[in-house]
Amino acid sequence: MSEHLSKQYDNDLETLRSAVLRMGGLVEAQIRHAIDALTTGNLVLSEEVIEADHKVNAMEVALDEDCSQLIVRRQPAAGDLRMIFAIMKTVTDLERIGDEAQKIARMAKSIHERGAPSVPLTVDVRHAAELAIAMLQRTLDAFARLDCDAAQEVIRADAGIDSEFRSILRQLITYMMEDPRTITMALEIVWIAKAVERIGDHAKNMAEYVIYIVKGTDVRHTGTVSAEA
């Protein structure tokens, strides 16, 4: 490959990476707005998150197409091919995080439109969401710097989100048993908490792809990197 073509190829890869980070920023904003809508009852904000999901979907389609075109045009070697495959997987996880944010916004809208009796668990959900957002931020940073150590920290942090979800679920069961009038709203908060937990799962997936890019090691379902990798 000539120096000119090599430089253009590097530019193409960097453009893809930058687009992933922009998509990550959009998705992060969607989560924040959805949680804000839940805690404040801002129905306009809920609607904005719901409507903006199409932007995330469009970015996924565009990035998938760009990756496919790059593979066809450049026929990348092993390391670069891993990068492109990992980008495609990362984009899928980002799109699914966007779906979870939209789900939170829909539930928030339903709760506040109905004016249901308050279940004082939105603070706990917000705390879990902040943990999930922090995981997403660290994952995107690890992707930007191809930092395996940072990626491993994200993978370990997923257990904290799972623990938060179980705690919220236990509290909600108590509320439902003590006051059946809270059942409908409590179940909606269960779905919101589950969406937050799924965001953490997707962030963990993305961290695993960073390790795959750098080391060529698939750590899915193991969460560890071998010493030889």
Whole-structure pTM value: 0.90
Q: What pLDDT is recorded for position 228? A: 36
8 A C-beta contact, residue 198 and residue 134:
no
Q: What pLDDT is recorded for position 114? A: 83
Q: What pLDDT is recorded for position 118? A: 60
8 A C-beta contact, residue 158 and residue 201:
yes
CA angle, corner 182, sides to 177 and 183, nearest 5? Answer: 70
pLDDT by residue, tens only, the chain of 229 residues: 555 557 887 888 899 999 999 999 999 999 999 999 998 889 999 999 999 999 999 999 999 999 999 999 888 887 888 999 999 999 999 999 999 999 999 999 998 888 765 656 666 899 999 999 999 999 999 999 999 999 999 999 999 999 999 999 999 999 889 988 888 888 999 999 999 999 999 999 999 999 999 998 776 655 454 433 3
**DSSP, residue by residue, the chain:** --HHHHHHHHHHHHHHHHHHHHHHHHHHHHHHHHHHHHHH--HHHHHHHHHHHHHHHHHHHHHHHHHHHHHHHH---HHHHHHHHHHHHHHHHHHHHHHHHHHHHHHHHHHHHHTPPP-TTHHHHHHHHHHHHHHHHHHHHHHHHT-HHHHHHHHHHHHHHHHHHHHHHHHHHHHHHH-GGGHHHHHHHHHHHHHHHHHHHHHHHHHHHHHHHHH----TTT----TT-
Encoded tokens for 70? 């790059």
